[in-house]
């Protein structure tokens, strides 16, 4: 079975541009979460979606938005890119939102803003 | 929110040595996971261990939830064990089942 897949793997954007990152969860998993990992730090929670609804949001500005589609795949959108948005963006998939469910991560999208 | 601290931050070992990585957390948890991040950034699941002890080959982990810590043991380390090890927890007080990560332990195993 395929694991969590993310696309693209690498991306270079210019300040002020918009970016869309994509994630496909493990087959049968209904929850997708997004994390940002800047160099030298642990991942930080951005969003969680379950059954196409936002179920949690981290401390990120409104330039960050996301959605989940009927097939449970997800997109993360970032508007008006800043240099500080350069990071590894990780998508996590879990079976459901029941407390304590194990999460599985994709390989990430490495975004560089110049 | 819940705080997660990992120690040591950096660790250098000779191949074949054993090591213990520690994760302390500040509140009760309903999920605790250990991950190994490889040089390409992929987070590899090692253990899902909100309580108790588990073993997988040369790796084992113990979580003592009542005392708010978890330990990851690596025995007979190999160069392929190099990378960053993260502990991540979710708390009943968190939104959904979001994970809060520690700062990681950067392990280098020398041949």
Predicted confidence band of residue B97 (pLDDT cuts 50, 70, 90): confident
| B20-76 pLDDT, tens digit each | 999 999 999 989 999 999 988 999 999 999 999 999 999 999 999 999 999 999 999
B25 touches chain A (CB under 8 A): no
CA–CA separation, B99 and B90 (whole Å): 5
Domains of chain B, CATH where assigned: 4-110 (2.60.40.10)
Confidence of residue A99 (pLDDT cuts 50, 70, 90): low
Question: How do residues A44-58 score in pLDDT, each as one tens digit?
Answer: 999 999 989 999 899
Query: Cα torsion at A34, A67, A96, A71 (round to 10°)?
Result: -120
Tokens representing B46? 């090692």
* Nearest of A79, A89, A100 to residue B50 by alpha carbon: A100
Contact A19, A78 (CB under 8 A): yes
Contact A66, A76 (CB under 8 A): yes
Q: What is the DSSP letter of A26?
A: P
Q: Could you give the CA distance from residue A14 to residue B67 in angstroms, rounded to a whole number? A: 47
With an 8 Å Cβ cutoff, are A48 and B103 in contact? no
Domain count for chain A: 1
Q: In terms of Cα–Cα distance, which of B36, B67, B37 is closest to B51? A: B67
Q: Report the DSSP beta bridge partners of residue A12.
A: A112
Does pLDDT of B93 surpass 90?
no
Q: What is the CATH number of the domain that holds A77?
A: 2.60.40.10
Q: Which of B63, B99, B100, B102 to mutate to test the interface with A (most CBs of A within 10 A)?
A: B99
Q: Establish whether the linkage from the previous residue to B8 is cis, with ω within 30° of 0.
A: yes
- The encoded tokens of residue B80 equal 């392929």
- Interface residues of A toward B, Cβ cutoff 8 Å, are 31, 33, 35, 37, 41-45, 48, 50, 55-58, 88, 90, 92, 94, 97-108, 110
Instruction: Give the domain extent around A28.
Output: 5-113
List Cα–Cα distances, B54 to A66, A87, B33, B58, B88, in angstroms: 36, 33, 12, 11, 16
Comparing alpha-carbon positions, the chain A residue that sits nearest to B97 is A99
């Amino acid at each position: 079975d395929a694991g969590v897949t993310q696309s693209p793997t690498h991306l270079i954007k210019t300040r002020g541009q918009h970016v869309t990152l994509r994630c496909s969860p493990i087959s049968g998993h209904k929850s997708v979460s997004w994390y940002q990992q800047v160099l030298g730090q642990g991942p930080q929670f951005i969003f969680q979606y379950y059954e196409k609804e936002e179920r949690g949001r981290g401390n990120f500005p409104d330039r960050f938005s996301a959605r989940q589609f009927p097939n449970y795949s997800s997109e993360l959108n970032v508007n008006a890119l800043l240099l500080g948005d350069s990071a590894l963006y990780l998508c996590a998939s879990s079976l459901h939102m029941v407390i304590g469910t194990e999460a599985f991560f994709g390989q990430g999208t490495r975004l560089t803003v110049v | 929110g819940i705080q997660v601290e990992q120690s040591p931050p950096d660790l250098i070992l000779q191949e074949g040595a054993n090591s213990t990585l520690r994760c302390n957390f500040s509140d009760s948890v309903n999920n605790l996971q250990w991950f190994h991040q490889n040089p390409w950034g992929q987070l590899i699941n090692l253990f899902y261990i909100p309580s108790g002890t588990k073993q997988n080959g040369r790796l084992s982990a113990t979580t003592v939830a009542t005392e708010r810590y978890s330990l990851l043991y690596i025995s007979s380390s190999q160069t392929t064990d190099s990378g960053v090890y993260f502990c991540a927890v979710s708390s009943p007080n968190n939104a959904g089942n979001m994970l809060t990560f520690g700062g990681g332990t950067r392990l280098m195993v020398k041949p």
